[in-house]
Each structure stands twice: as structure tokens, then as C-alpha cells.
Amino acid sequence: MPGAAEHLDRILAEARGAIAGAESTQALAEIRAGFLGKKGSVSTVLRGIGDLAGAERAAVGKAANVTKGEIEALVAKRREALEGADQERVLAEHRLDVTLPGFAPPRGHLHPTSHIEREMCAFFTQMGYSIEDGPEVETDWNNFGGLNFPEDHPARDMQDTFFVPGGNVLRTHTSNVQIRAMTGQEPPFRFVCPGRVYRHDLDGTHYPMFHQIEAVCVDEQTTFADLKGTLFAFARHLFGESTDIRFRAHFFPFTEPSAELDIGWGGRWLEWGGCGMIHPRVLLNCGIDPERYQGFAFGMGIDRTAMIRWDIPNIQLLFDGDVRTAEQF
Ligand code: DAH
């Protein structure tokens, strides 16, 4: 077959051009079939060698197989390039920008009651007071009896106090800690006690559970002037330097004299807490000699303090767990 070599050269050149121009693996497969498939041009040459004479048959056969191998190699190389490009494109399309800022989860913060409680405690720990703790389920003695409440005192009445089966109560004030912390101990004492208390009461300014902080200072020379100075400093620390306080004579069984404490706020007097000089009988109940020691105590609502500080109109806003309220602080 004269010119077989040239024919194969032309086929190869043609294949080289077609393969280089293939734009997809699909197009490449079709081009390959055009040369190497059953009816492809190289296959046709190979099929024709049967008609050739011996020597020529071997030469053309060999040349055709070489061409076939070269075309296969060109196809393989081009396929690799096309597949690589495909992958690049997919990667480019689905690119993930790891430098984009993430979605920040919402951050919580302290409840206003916790916030003011910490501030109130910090004021006292700074002055050398310790922090005492007491249980919310309390004996009648620690909540009432030891604090000099007579048996028939109205505060023991069913309307105020939650009674627990077995004779205990849910403590109605943090004053129970006076008895707990002082009994069997030797003064001087300086401590505060924040905590939950319970009363059968519910309206805009009362809730059945609320928080109080109790403060006690006992030494040989502690006077009402110390009480007054401490409360002035405390109020001004919490509400501002020009804050005024006022004492209104009052009665508590566990203090003598006793006063209710008002704070000047927004041009009015708001009731803030109770205070007084610890009654000698309370000291005696704790095993302390009232001839030698005397001291003051006071207690106020922590929630009430938060309400004053941030002008919160209703105590229930503090306890209904609505994040719209909490988020404002
Ligand atoms: N325990 C009183 C109450 O809950 C508040 C109080 C008044 C506490 C006078 C005191 C005090 O320590 O001296 O209403």
C-alpha cells in the first residue's frame, strides 16, 4: 500500500489538532472514536493490512499501531487536562470563604437582681464584712423566736408565712442568718447575707419570692451613728453621691430602737428597708453578753433596690423571665 506512511502521518496530524481542540470529555470521546473506534480511520488502516503483501503488511501494521498508541496517549493527556479543569471549575464555584465572619450566638448577661446583689455585697466585703449564708427552709426559732418575735406576732400569721410540714417555715427574711451566724460565736461581727425569702404576697411591688440582704455589725462600741454612716455611704454608693436617706421610727421585735429607712429618689421618699440597734434579747438568745456588746442590723430588698436604681415599675418584670426585659440591662 503505497503512501500508507503518509496517510498515517496525516491521520496523526488531524488527530492532534482535533484532540487539542476538544472542549469537553464528551467531545474528546467522540473524537477518539473517529480515529480508534470500529469505523475509525486508524482501525480502517489496520483492517486493510490483510490485503497487503508480507513485508509491507508488517511495516504498515507496525506504523498503524504506533499511530494508534500516539493517539491514545494524546487522548489520555487531553482527558487529564479537561478533568483537571472541571475540578478547578467546581472548586471555584463552590469556594468557601473561611475568612467571612461567623454568626455570633446571642450572649447572656447577669440578671439585674444578680447584678445589684453583687454590687451590694462588694460594697461590704470591701469594708471587711464577710458573707454569710442561711437556708431557705428555716426553723421557727431562727426565723422568729430567736429574733424576739412573740408567739402571737402577726408576722407569724398564715397570711405572711409559708409553713412547711414539720414545723419549719420558708424564711420570711434574711434576719434568720443573724441567729445562725451569731449563736455560739464571740463578737466582733461584721457580715452581710444576701438570699431568697418568701412571703404570701403578690402585687406590683410584692412577689411571693424575693431577695433581701441583711447586714450585721456588732462590737463593744458600735452605735446608731455607725449605722447611719454605713447606710449613707451604702445609699450613695448605689444611687449616687447626692442621695439622701431618712429614718422613720418603726417597730421590729429584733431591734431597739428601730427605724424604717427611706431613700430620696426622683424627688420622693421611697421605702428601702428596715434597721436598728440589735435588741439585747437577740444577743442573749445567741449567747452574747449585751452588757459588753452592742451592734446594728439592717435589711432591705435586693429586687427593690434594682427597681429603684433602674426605674423598673413592676417587680414581676424581674421574675417572669422575659428576655425583652433582661436585654435592657
Ligand atoms: N427583717 C426585716 C424585714 O424583712 C428587715 C429588717 C429590719 C432587717 C430591721 C433588719 C433590721 O436587720 O434591723 O422586713
For 232-239, what is the mean pLDDT?
97
Residue range 315-323: average pLDDT? 87
Say yes or no: 72 and 199 in one domain: no
Share of the chain above pLDDT 90, in %: 69
Listed range (53-57, 168-172, 230-234, 260-264) with the worst mean pLDDT: 53-57
Amino acid at the residue 35? F
- Mean pLDDT along residues 38-53: 88
The region of weakest confidence among 69-73, 204-208, 260-264, 288-292 is 204-208
Q: Are 294 and 222 in a shared domain?
A: yes
Per residue in 10-33, pLDDT (tens digit) is: 999 999 999 999 999 999 999 999
**Cβ-based burial of 256 (10 A; exposed 0-12, middle 13-18, buried ≥19):** middle
Instruction: Please check whether residues 138 and 13 belong to one and the same domain.
Output: no
Q: Which atom of ligand 1 is nearest to the CA of 216?
A: 12
Are 61 and 194 part of one and the same domain?
no
Ligand 1 atom at minimum distance from 178 CA:
12
| DSSP designation for 153 | -
Is residue 102 assigned to a domain?
no
Average pLDDT of every residue of the chain: 92
- Does 299 reside within a domain? yes
For residue 102, count other CB atoms closer than 10 A to its CB: 6
Distance 111 CA to ligand 1 centre (A): 24
Whether 106 is covered by a domain: the verdict is no
Atom of ligand 1 nearest to the CA of 300: 5
Same domain, 24 and 154: no
Ligand 1 pocket, residue 276 CB under 6 Å:
yes
Q: What is the pLDDT of residue 288?
A: 98
Q: Residue 199: is its pLDDT beyond 90?
A: yes
Instruction: Assess whether 130 and 233 both reside in one domain.
Output: yes
Residue nearest to ligand 1 atom 8, measured at CA: 299
| Domain assignment present for 14 | yes
Query: Phi, psi (5° rounding) for residue 136?
Result: -85, -25
Tally of domains within the chain:
2
Check whether residue 84 and residue 141 sit in a common domain.
Answer: no
Cβ of 175 closer than 6 Å to ligand 1, yes or no, is yes
Shared domain for 225 and 118, answered yes or no, is yes
Q: How close is the Cα of 289 to the center of ligand 1, in Å?
A: 22
The average pLDDT across 295-314 equals 94
Answer yes or no: is pLDDT of 198 > 70.
Answer: yes
Q: Is the pLDDT confidence value at 2 over 60?
A: no
Distance CA 303, CA 192 (A): 16
Distance 313 CA to ligand 1 centre (A): 23
Query: Are 118 and 79 in the same domain?
Result: no
Instruction: From 93, 127, 152, give the residue that closes a domain.
Output: 93
Query: 107 lies in a domain?
Result: no
Average pLDDT over every residue of 233-239: 97
Give yes or no for residue 276 having a pLDDT over 90.
yes
Instruction: Show the cell assigned to 219.
Output: 462590737
| 299 CB near ligand 1 (under 6 Å) | yes
Pick the last residue of a domain from 66, 93, 120: 93
Mutational test site, ligand 1, from 180, 252, 262, max ligand atoms within 8 Å of CB: 252
In a domain, 36, yes or no: yes
Flag whether 232 is in a domain: yes
Question: Is 177 in contact with 134 (CB distance < 8 Å)?
Answer: yes
Helix (H) / strand (E) element for 43: namely helix 41-48
Which of 228, 254, 300 most suits a substitution to test ligand 1, by most atoms within 8 Å of the C-beta?
254
**Which residues have CB under 8 Å from 87's CB, separation 6+?**
none
> Would residue 105 count as lying in a domain?
no
| pLDDT tops 90 at residue 48 | no
Which pLDDT belongs to residue 51?
86
Domain containing 240: what range? 112-326
pLDDT tens for 111-148 read 999 999 999 999 999 999 999 999 999 999 999 999 99
275 lines ligand 1 (CB under 6 A): yes
The verdict on 64 and 124 lying in the same domain is no
pLDDT (mean) for 251-267: 94
Residue 230 has pLDDT above 90, yes or no: yes
If asked whether residues 126 and 190 sit together in one domain, one would say yes
C-alpha 126/C-alpha 234 separation (Å) is: 12
321 shares a domain with 178: yes
| Residue whose C-alpha cell reads 503512501 in the numeric block | 3
- Ligand 1 atom nearest residue 255's Cα: 13
CA distance 244 to 252: 23
Q: How far is the CA of 149 from the centre of ligand 1 (A)?
A: 12
Closest residue by CA, ligand 1 atom 10: 298
CATH of the domain at 208: 3.30.930.10
Query: Rounded distance, CA 240 to CA 268, Å?
Result: 15
